[in-house]
């Protein structure tokens, strides 16, 4: 009886190892072949006005540096629509003080969030109403930029005759738990949602990074603006998906050396960020969410306890299981080490905590399935009954 179980598990471990070989190849292909924001043949001959739409809620710790990097841009024709989304800290004051010193900043106080809207989506919509640019650049208040980012983005957009462009930022992390968990999750960003898939017209993958995406005003209006995704928790993914499905020409590029963003600021933020990834999937389909949770559990964690258990067992079937689980575990370590170093700029030593990072991800996803509510920037969102179509898996 146990022999059969060992061989069945060995087959599963072999499948997990094969999946990681595929993930590692896809990830390394993405790192090697994805285009860069600053590598293209520049044929741009005009400088259309860019409206940078910057929603901010309770961002006093970050928004000063964000505005400083935006004000230092070498692009001449732009404005910064800084939207205070009913902040409970000094965010509004910082925006107001900066706007008095710099005419490029247009301060906006968002009205009370209507029912049925996510906060950031509402703030972006309020910013859009005040924007006068032909191009709209959406970003986050915890993002900073090199001085030539807007110039490069506009020239890239025009030279390749694009409708929309999104750049992959360098994700900054501040605590141990975020570093070991993000290394696990980011593997999928550089595989399933890689630039190679987004840029391939034959693929239906469309995705924007919320920290940086620029698009033509008519494109934004053509996909229904943020009003069309007002209930979406992952609004950047939803907008990118809509843009690709509508037939617009979009491109994703690497910008890690030019743009820095924050994914989670502390363990509490990490926990809610993990829930935020699962809740939309759970609301789309409970069965699909359960399947994804099981797949993630087997891909990120199960080989490690199976390896430990098989080492304690005796007999030939247990040794076969030990070898297959060992190979799968090694491949997980290799994949996470590559992502930590090449994707996140972290020390490869964080890959040693892959089992722990995988467990945190699984528990966060499980929490998202048990409670369809998320705390984000000081607001609690109860998502039951709200349509979510941001990610197709």
SS (H, E, C) 280-297: HHHHHCHHHHHHHHHHHH
Q: Look at strands 105-109 and 78-84 and give their pairing.
A: parallel
What is d(CA 64, CA 47) in angstroms, rounded to the nearest whole number? 26
Task: Compare 379 and 347 and report the one with higher pLDDT.
Answer: 347
56, 232, 190, 15 alpha-carbon torsion, rounded to 10°: 140
CA 297 from chain centre, in angstroms, equals 20
The predicted-structure confidence for 55-86, as pLDDT tens digits, reads as follows 999 999 999 999 999 999 999 999 999 999 98
Indicate the pLDDT class of residue 378, thresholds 50, 70 and 90: confident
Indicate the pLDDT class of residue 1, thresholds 50, 70 and 90: low
The SS3 call for residue 213 is: strand
Name, in order, each residue with C-beta under 8 angstroms of 230's C-beta and a sequence gap of 6 or more. 116, 117, 118, 121, 122, 125
Angle at 145 between CA 144 and CA 147, to 5 degrees: 140
H/E segment holding residue 215: strand 212-216
Indicate the pLDDT class of residue 5, thresholds 50, 70 and 90: confident
* pLDDT (0 to 100) of residue 392: 54
The predicted-structure confidence for 183-205, as pLDDT tens digits, reads as follows 998 888 777 788 999 999 999 88
* pLDDT (0 to 100) of residue 314: 75
Mean of pLDDT over the chain = 91
* pLDDT (0 to 100) of residue 317: 83
Which of 78-92, 312-326, 368-382 is predicted with the least confidence, judged by mean pLDDT? Answer: 368-382
User: What tokens does 326 get?
Assistant: 């060992």
Q: Is the pLDDT of residue 358 over 90?
A: yes
Greatest distance between any 2 Cα atoms in the chain: 76
The predicted-structure confidence for 113-150, as pLDDT tens digits, reads as follows 898 898 899 999 999 999 999 999 999 999 999 999 99
% residues pLDDT > 70 (the chain): 95
Average confidence (pLDDT) over 276-299: 86
Give whole-number Cα distances, 75 to 101, 111, 160, in Å: 19, 30, 19
Average confidence (pLDDT) over 166-189: 92
Where are any strands of DSSP class E within 267-387? 373-376, 379-382
Burial class (CB in 10 A: 0-12, 13-18, 19+), 19: middle
């Amino acid at each position: 009886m146990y022999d059969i179980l060992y061989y069945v598990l060995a087959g599963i471990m072999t499948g997990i190892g094969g999946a990681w070989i595929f993930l590692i190849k896809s990830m390394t292909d993405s790192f090697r072949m994805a285009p860069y924001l600053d590598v293209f043949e520049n044929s741009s001959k005009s400088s259309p006005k860019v409206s940078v739409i910057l929603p901010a809620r309770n961002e006093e710790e970050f928004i000063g540096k964000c505005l400083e990097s935006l004000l230092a841009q070498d692009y001449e024709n732009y404005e910064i629509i800084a939207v205070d989304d009913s902040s409970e800290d000094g965010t509004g004051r910082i925006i107001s003080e900066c706007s008095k010193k710099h005419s490029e900043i247009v301060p906006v106080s968002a009205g009370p969030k209507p029912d049925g809207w996510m906060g950031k989506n509402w703030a972006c919509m309020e910013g859009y109403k005040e924007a006068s640019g032909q191009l709209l650049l959406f970003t986050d208040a915890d993002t900073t930029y090199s001085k030539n980012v807007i110039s490069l983005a506009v020239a890239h957009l025009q030279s390749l005759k694009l409708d929309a462009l999104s750049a992959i930022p360098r994700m900054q992390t501040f605590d141990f738990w975020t570093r070991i968990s993000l290394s696990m999750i980011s593997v999928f960003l550089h595989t399933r949602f890689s630039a190679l898939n987004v840029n391939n017209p034959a693929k239906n993958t469309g995705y924007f990074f919320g920290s940086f995406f620029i698009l033509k005003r008519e494109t934004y209006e053509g996909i229904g603006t943020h009003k069309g995704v007002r209930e979406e928790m992952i609004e950047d993914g939803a907008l990118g998906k809509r843009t690709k499905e509508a037939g617009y020409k979009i491109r994703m590029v690497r910008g890690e050396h030019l743009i820095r963003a924050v994914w989670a600021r502390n363990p509490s933020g990490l926990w809610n960020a993990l829930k935020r990834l699962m809740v939309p999937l759970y609301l789309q389909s409970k069965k699909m969410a359960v399947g994804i949770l099981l797949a993630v559990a087997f891909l990120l964690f199960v080989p490690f306890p199976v390896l430990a258990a098989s080492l304690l067992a005796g007999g030939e079937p247990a040794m076969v299981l030990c070898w297959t689980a060992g190979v799968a575990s090694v491949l997980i370590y290799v994949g996470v080490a590559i992502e930590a170093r090449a994707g996140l700029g972290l020390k490869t030593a964080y890959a040693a905590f892959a089992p722990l990072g995988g467990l945190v991800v699984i528990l966060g996803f499980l929490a998202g399935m048990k409670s369809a509510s998320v705390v984000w920037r000081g607001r609690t969102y109860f998502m039951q009954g709200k349509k979510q179509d941001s990610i197709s898996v």
